[in-house]
Amino acid sequence: MKTTAYFEQKLLDRPEIRREWCQRVLGNALKTQAQSNGRISHWAVIPDYGDRVLRVITLEDGETIHNAYFDRNFRSRLQQGLEP
């Protein structure tokens, strides 16, 4: 798994996020969306963490992980029809 230095720092700040979860999101995303800056966002449910939705952001190559965090608003956007 390729990562940026920024991601490595964020993992220290967010010890609840596991590397294997990030890898799982990339392999089994509910949604994938390109951002205006070229990076790619991937979302997936993490059953091991209370069915919360983890958002993983990769660089343009779609492989190198740059950031990861639990997206608190994904479900509400989904309910409002703002997410597919």
Residue pLDDT, tens place only, 34-80? 999 999 999 999 999 999 999 999 999 999 999 999 998 887 776 66
pLDDT value at residue 82: 66
Q: What pTM did the predictor assign?
A: 0.90
pLDDT at 84 over 60: no
Residue 70 vs residues 12, 49: alpha-carbon distances, Å:
15, 10
CB 80 within 8 Å of CB 18: no
pLDDT value at residue 40: 98
Contacts of 64 (CB under 8 A, 6+ apart): 2, 3, 4, 58
* Helices of type H across 1-84: 5-13, 19-27, 74-79
pLDDT value at residue 44: 94
